Structures are given as C-alpha cells and as structure tokens.
Amino acid sequence: MTNMAFGSFNPLTGAKSTSATLSVNCTGTQNKVVRFCVSAAGTDQTGCRSMVSFSTQLAFGLYTNAAHTVSLGDYRGGGSCPSGSWGATGLQFNLTLNATGSGSTTKTIYAGLNDATAVPGSYTANYSGSNINVDYVYNTGAACPVTAPKSVQPAFNISATVQAACTVNATNMNFGSLTLLNADVDETSTITAQCTNSTPFNIGLNTGNGSGATVSARKMTSGTKTIIYSLYQNAARTTVWGNTVGTDTASGIGIGANQSLTVFGRVPPQVTPEPATYTDTIIVTITY
C-alpha cells in the first residue's frame, strides 16, 4: 500500500482528496479465483479515523470510489466514533490466477478531508497491525467476511498540513442624501472575516483616497471638494479604526466560520460643500 499525502490543505476552500494504491501479487493453484476482503478500522485511541498534530485531531474519510460515496469499512466489526461512522463492509474483489498459478492486480483507495474548523498544523496517522487487514481465501462463492482467511496487514501513512488562512469582504457605507452638515450623521457597514480555527487575526482600514486624509479624518471627495468623516470600532464612536497592527486595528481569533465586525462611520458637523456626490474607497487588510 502506498502512503496517502493530502499535502497542503486550506479548510476555507472546501474538501480535498487524495488516494493510495493497493498492489496485490499472488502465487497459488493455477486458474483458481482468490477472494479478497479489505478492512480498515480507526487510527486513534477512540477508534476514529483521524490524523493527529500533538493533541489536535483532523478527521478524514476512506472510500472505495472517487466520488467518496462508498466508505471503506471494516469487515471485522464495523466501526464508529464521535465524529462519524462506517459500516461492516470493506472492499471486496476477486483475482483469477493464471495457468502458472500467479496473478496480480491493483486497487485504488480514496481519502477525503472536509473540515472547515481544522486547526493549522502538520497531521499524521498510521495504518498498521490490526487496524488494516487484507483477508484472502480461494473463492467459494461466499461474500466477505470469509471464513478462516489468511491475512496480510499492509502498513501505510496518511499526512496533511493544514494552512493558516483568512478571507475578508465588506459592505459599502452610504451616508445618504445630506443637506446641511450641521449635526453628526452616522452610518455603519459590515466586515465579514473567515479565518482558520484558532488563527489570530487583525483587520485594518487604510486612510482612503482623499489627499491629506488620516485615519481620524478621512475625506470623501468630489473633484477638489471634500467631506470629512471618520470610521470607528465602537458604537460610541470613540475608538478610531486604523491600519496599524497593535495600535488601532480590530483583532480576533478565527473559528473556521464567518465572523462579522461592524464599522461605525460618522460625518461630523462641518462647512457644507457644494452639492455633488462625494465618495471614498477604503482598503480592508486582514493580517494573520
């Protein structure tokens, strides 16, 4: 059995697959048919199929088809664990020996990862001993599991490296149609961040496109005319939201799912410029 290597896995981009090849070489009685029953149990102490990185586990699945719709089970007793289960059905196939009493074939075993909450790290698991069995007998027509088989245990390893990753997007902020800028005008927008589980992150907002703008006094513009506004991390609009990590950015820890943060905007009282449409573009940067 060849090893299974998922390589680098980004939990935020969905499932990833890999496969291994089971190679069978037999000698025996000429023209006889050999029945094979392949069983795979769990890999960890709780009986689950999971790779381990220190004390953190990463569940995976084993399958007999590329579509991952038929699990590779365990003819010797099924199997179950808190994170999933598989039936007492493994991989069954026949091999007909030739006129000299020999024969060979290969079978593909498929594996899949699909855990959006996976914690970054390097994970490994080992199939060896009683948790992997290839039972075989001369075919009597009986289905697996077979009676009094001979057995081999082809050890192989499974590995994956979970990446730290983040994505971020934001809605627009629209202060609406204004007449006189003689009182505070408040609005909000939403930033949605998704980071791998346990990954610390910081979200910063730059000063925008206005000439001479700062994080405390950004500028919407129309030609050379401007409207001053500010962006804040809190509803009281006392904590300016800037772009310097550790100083004025918003921080959090990823959970593998979307996390929403509100941006609180304010146009303070100021001299009202000439009528026009005033805009600015803010770049959201997530650091992890």
| pLDDT tens digits along 22-72 | 999 999 999 999 999 999 988 877 778 999 999 999 999 999 999 999 999
- CA distances (Å), origin 217, targets 81, 178, 267: 56, 19, 10
Domains of the chain, with CATH numbers? 4-162 (2.60.40), 166-287 (2.60.40.1090)
Position 219 scores a pLDDT of: 98
Beta strands in 76-149 (DSSP E): 79-81, 84-86, 91-96, 102-113, 121-127, 132-138
- CB atoms inside a 10 Å sphere around CB 174: 10
Distance of CA 34 to CAs 104, 109, 139, 146, Å?
11, 19, 5, 11
If 0-12 CB within 10 Å is exposed, 13-18 middle and 19+ buried, where does residue 181 land?
middle
Closest CA to 199 of 231, 155, 167, 172: 167
- Tell me phi and psi for residue 75, to 5 degrees: -60, -20
CB atoms inside a 10 Å sphere around CB 249: 19
Paired sense of beta strands 284-287 and 166-170, if any: unpaired
Ranges 17-21, 31-35, 41-45, 93-97: which has the least confidence: 41-45
Mean pLDDT of 82-86: 65
| Lowest-confidence segment of 67-81, 121-135, 176-190, 205-219 by average pLDDT | 67-81
Residue 13 backbone phi and psi in degrees, to 5: -100, 5
Q: Check residue 142 and give its pLDDT.
A: 87
| Nearest of 205, 209, 181 to residue 280 by alpha carbon | 209
- How far apart are alpha carbons 138 and 101 in whole angstroms? 12
- Percent of the chain beyond pLDDT 90? 90
